[in-house]
Structures are given as C-alpha cells and as structure tokens.
C-alpha cells in the first residue's frame, strides 16, 4: 500500500518549498473515469486533503473533506445523494458550493451559512483539473483546446497508455526539463542536442518547436527503421501544471499530455498519457508502434527522476550559451505563477540584440531575473 506523504513526517530536503511556492494554475488531481456517478475519491495535493465526488447528474465537485459539524471525513464512508455529499457520521448534507443543505434529525433543517472550501474543476480530455491559487482567486484562464482530441479522430486515453508516479521534485523542475537541451544527450542517450525554435511566451503559455534527432548515427531503430531523422516536436506548457507535446504526422501524429501536481513541499505527482491519430474513425486498436512509443516515453521520464530527487535548486544557475535561451525564457515566464512572491526585475535587452540570456558565454543569471532573496529556492 502506498503511504500518503501528507500523513507522514516529511524530511526537509534542498527541494523543500514553502506553501507560497505552490504555483497558480490548473493541475491534474485525478482521471475522470476514477470517479463514476455517485463515486467519491479523496486526494492529497497542495499540502491538503480534497474530496472529489461525482453527483448523479454526472457533475464533479471538490471540497474540503472535513464536515463542519464535528469534523467527520466526508470521503471515508460518505455517500452521494443527488449532487450532494452526505457525511457518514450524522448524515449532514453538503452541496457542490460547500453549503450545508440538510440536518436530517433537526428542526433547524440546515445551517445555510456554513460553507466548506470548494475548488474550481474542469474535465479536460478525460483528466480532472483543479484550479489552485494560494490567494484563492478565481481562474484567470482556461485549459487549451486540442482539435480532434476526445473525438473519433484520436484513440482515447486508455489505461494502458497513461501513467502516474509520485516523485521527489518540484513541478517547475519537471517543466524546466523540457527546456534543458543538453541533458538529452547525457541522461536520455540522444545522439545530438535538440535545437529550440519559435520560443513563444503568451500569458500562461510557453511554447517552442524543438528539432529532435531520433536514431541519430544508427542505421535502423524500431522508431526510425529507415535511418535517423530530425523531427520537429511542439512543446506547449500552460502554466506549470499542464503540458502538451505534439509529434508531426511524418513521425507519428502522437500527442502527449503531461501534468505535474505538487503533493506537498517535497513530492509531485507526475501524470502523463499518450494518444495518436487514427487512420480512420473505425479503427479501435492503437497500433503497436504507438503503444511501444508510450513505453519509450515512460522510460524516458523515469530516467530524469534521480536528477530531481538528489539535486539542489540553484536560483542563479550558470548556463552555457547553447542552453541559455530556452532555460532563461522559461524561468522568467514561470514567475507569473507565484503572484504572491516578489517578482523579478524586468529584463534588460543586451546590446547584441539577443535577450541577454548569457549568449556571451558568461553567467546568464541576471537574465533569469531571480530576486536576490529567492536565490536558495526555485
Ligand atoms: S461530523 Fe459530519 S454530520 Fe456530524
Ligand atoms: Fe529529460
């Protein structure tokens, strides 16, 4: 049985982050089919427990799990009635807005002023997303729409092509991994360093087109039977919780959704799932190549784990010119998801027309805009 880290004493590690370091945005907390109509699931994220329940109407709700009567846990032997959740202890009812709607044995009927904390949810391609903001503000953006996903154009995200792992890492470390070209050669065995193009920042979106060499220097691999090829892969991050990776049709027409959700000050749940485009709407079974590609990506993800588990976050890293542009741009973009922390100083363009991200081969730290007092953490 997996031990829930929220229930245990967490050792302080160099990766520890205070609560204010939980970023703002949409984060995966479950798969939609984990919670059927009438179902209840308790999860632990952002250092707290959350109860999810699906009403008989099909709508999904999330609230604090502790009943405001005497503190019973709604998720443990609670029940769903209509769209409400019923506490197992004395059967008080709570609706999706967190309001008490019924005290079944009292002439008072209910205490409508009582309110549990509730959370905004979205169901996105079979993924349950929860909006997190330490200031408890309303969502300021919506998850992206991927044309065709969720229709007959693509295979569904079935259980054999999705994955969840609880790891020691801050979500930003995982996202930064996608902007770190050099490690691809040393951790993942890539024959060449990927090249980043079209790096774009647009509100919560950070995106890049990345040229990746598959099968470099090899006559034939299962992925590249006709020899090595350069593939332009789309990297899309929507906040620090949602990522999409898009491979082109000449390679595979595959889509990977990667979601990273902080569990507590040390752990993150990494979720990902992969699908591909069907050759026709009638096609029901994913091709062997796609299933194998999922296993390949799972293995690739796991290769990174030891780096995050044992690292110390360097607020002012020393970057080589070849890696400074994607990494520095991603770190600057990421600051917006910590609105309650001191923000970095505006970027000062360099005299050589670049973004000043260390292209001169010197320390690119200034370009990262890390406030001095934040140097020891992310
Ligand atoms: S503790 Fe929940 S109804 Fe009493
Ligand atoms: Fe990696």
Band (pLDDT 50/70/90 cuts) for residue 312 is confident
Asked, for residue 146, whether it belongs to a domain, the answer is no
Looking at the structure, tell me whether residues 99 and 181 fall in a common domain: no
Asked, for residue 140, whether it belongs to a domain, the answer is no
Using the mean position of ligand 2's atoms as its centre, give its distance from the Cα of residue 369 in Å. 24
Looking at the predicted structure, is the pLDDT value of residue 329 above 80? yes
Asked, for residue 326, whether it belongs to a domain, the answer is yes
Distances (CA, A) of 294 to 17, 242, 275, 303: 31, 18, 8, 14
CB 29 within 8 A of CB 128: yes
CB of 70 within 6 A of ligand 1: the answer is yes
Res 348: pLDDT: 57
Looking at the structure, tell me whether residues 205 and 123 fall in a common domain: no
CB of 43 within 6 A of ligand 1: the answer is no
CB of 111 within 6 A of ligand 1: the answer is no
Band (pLDDT 50/70/90 cuts) for residue 298 is very high
Asked, for residue 6, whether it belongs to a domain, the answer is no
Looking at the predicted structure, is the pLDDT value of residue 221 above 60? yes
Distances (CA, A) of 260 to 23, 77, 82, 240, 375: 11, 29, 32, 7, 23
Q: Kindly state the tokens that stand for 48.
A: 């707290």
Residues 311-331 have a mean pLDDT of: 89
Residue finishing a domain among 283, 310, 337: 310
Looking at the structure, tell me whether residues 192 and 117 fall in a common domain: no
Structure pTM?
Answer: 0.87
Looking at the predicted structure, is the pLDDT value of residue 349 above 50? yes
Asked, for residue 44, whether it belongs to a domain, the answer is yes
pLDDT digits (tens, 9 = 90+) for 224-255: 988 999 999 999 999 999 999 999 999 999 99
Residue finishing a domain among 262, 284, 310: 310
Res 132: pLDDT: 96
Using the mean position of ligand 2's atoms as its centre, give its distance from the Cα of residue 180 in Å. 8
Looking at the structure, tell me whether residues 52 and 102 fall in a common domain: yes
Looking at the structure, tell me whether residues 28 and 125 fall in a common domain: yes
Residue finishing a domain among 132, 148, 170: 132
What ligand has the least distance to the C-alpha of 175?
2
CATH number of 63's domain = 2.102.10.10
What lies within 8 Å, CB to CB, of 7 at 6+ separation is none
Looking at the structure, tell me whether residues 304 and 164 fall in a common domain: yes
Q: Kindly state the tokens that stand for 89.
A: 């202890």
Say how far apart CA 268 and CA 140 lie, in whole Å: 23
Res 311: pLDDT: 86
CB of 69 within 6 A of ligand 1: the answer is yes
Say how far apart CA 117 and CA 62 lie, in whole Å: 9
CB of 72 within 6 A of ligand 1: the answer is yes
Looking at the structure, tell me whether residues 194 and 255 fall in a common domain: yes
Looking at the structure, tell me whether residues 123 and 177 fall in a common domain: no
Asked, for residue 67, whether it belongs to a domain, the answer is yes
Asked, for residue 316, whether it belongs to a domain, the answer is no
Asked, for residue 210, whether it belongs to a domain, the answer is yes
Res 294: pLDDT: 93
Please, how many CA atoms are within 13 Å of residue 227, restricted to the half-sphere of its CB?
A: 2
Using the mean position of ligand 2's atoms as its centre, give its distance from the Cα of residue 9 in Å. 29
Averaging pLDDT over each range in 55-69, 274-288, 327-341, which range is the top one?
A: 55-69
Using the mean position of ligand 1's atoms as its centre, give its distance from the Cα of residue 129 in Å. 28
Please identify every residue whose CB atom is under 5 Å from ligand 2, which is an ion.
Answer: 177, 304
What ligand has the least distance to the C-alpha of 104?
1
Residues 7-18 have a mean pLDDT of: 41
Query: Probe ligand 1: pick from 86, 92, 114, max atoms within 8 Å of CB?
Result: 92
| CA nearest ligand 1 atom 4, residue | 90
Band (pLDDT 50/70/90 cuts) for residue 347 is low
How many structural domains compose the chain?
3
CATH number of 299's domain = 3.90.380.10
Q: Kindly state the tokens that stand for 2.
A: 């997996």
pLDDT digits (tens, 9 = 90+) for 179-191: 999 999 999 998 8
Where is pLDDT greater, at 335 or 138? 138
Enclosing domain of residue 32 = 24-132
Looking at the predicted structure, is the pLDDT value of residue 285 above 80? yes
Looking at the structure, tell me whether residues 328 and 284 fall in a common domain: no
What ligand has the least distance to the C-alpha of 85?
1
% the chain with pLDDT above 90: 68
Looking at the structure, tell me whether residues 300 and 333 fall in a common domain: no
Looking at the structure, tell me whether residues 53 and 116 fall in a common domain: yes
Task: Point out the ligand 1 atom lying closest to the alpha carbon of residue 87.
Answer: 2
- Give the other-Cβ count within 10 Å of 302's Cβ: 13
Looking at the structure, tell me whether residues 274 and 215 fall in a common domain: yes
């Amino acid at each position: 049985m997996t031990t829930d880290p929220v229930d245990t004493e967490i050792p302080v590690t160099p990766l520890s982050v205070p609560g204010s370091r939980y970023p703002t945005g949409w984060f995966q907390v479950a798969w939609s089919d984990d919670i059927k109509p009438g179902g209840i699931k308790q999860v632990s994220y952002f250092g707290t427990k959350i109860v999810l329940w699906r009403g008989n109407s099909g709508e999904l709700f999330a609230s604090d799990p502790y009943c405001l009567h005497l503190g019973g846990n709604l998720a443990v032997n609670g029940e769903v009635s209509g769209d409400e959740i019923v506490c197992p202890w004395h059967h008080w009812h709570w609706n999706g807005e967190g309001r008490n709607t019924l005290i079944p044995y009292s002439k008072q009927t209910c205490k409508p002023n009582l309110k549990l904390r509730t959370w905004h949810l979205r169901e996105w391609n079979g993924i349950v997303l929860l909006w997190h903001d330490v200031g408890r503000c309303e969502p300021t953006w919506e998850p992206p729409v991927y044309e065709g996903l969720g229709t007959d154009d693509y295979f569904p995200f079935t259980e054999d092509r999705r994955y969840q792992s609880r790891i020691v890492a801050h979500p930003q470390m995982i996202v930064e991994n996608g902007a770190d070209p050099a490690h691809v050669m040393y951790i993942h065995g890539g024959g060449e360093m990927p090249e980043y193009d079209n790096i774009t920042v647009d509100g919560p979106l950070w995106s890049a087109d990345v040229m990746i060499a598959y099968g470099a220097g090899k006559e034939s691999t299962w992925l590249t039977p006709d020899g090595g090829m350069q593939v332009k892969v789309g990297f899309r991050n929507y906040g620090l919780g949602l990522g999409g990776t898009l491979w082109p049709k000449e390679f595979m027409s595959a889509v990977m959704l990667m979601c990273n959700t902080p569990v507590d000050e040390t752990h993150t749940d990494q979720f990902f799932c992969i699908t591909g485009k069907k050759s026709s709407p009638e096609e029901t079974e994913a091709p062997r190549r796609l299933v194998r590609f999922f296993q390949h990506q799972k293995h690739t993800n796991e290769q990174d784990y030891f780096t995050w588990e044992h690292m110390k976050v360097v607020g002012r890293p020393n970057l080589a010119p070849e890696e400074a542009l994607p990494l520095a741009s991603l770190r600057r973009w990421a600051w917006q998801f910590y609105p309650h922390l001191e923000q970095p100083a505006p970027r000062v363009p360099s005299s050589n027309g670049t973004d000043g991200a260390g292209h001169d081969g010197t320390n690119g730290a200034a370009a990262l805009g890390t406030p001095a007092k934040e140097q020891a953490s992310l």
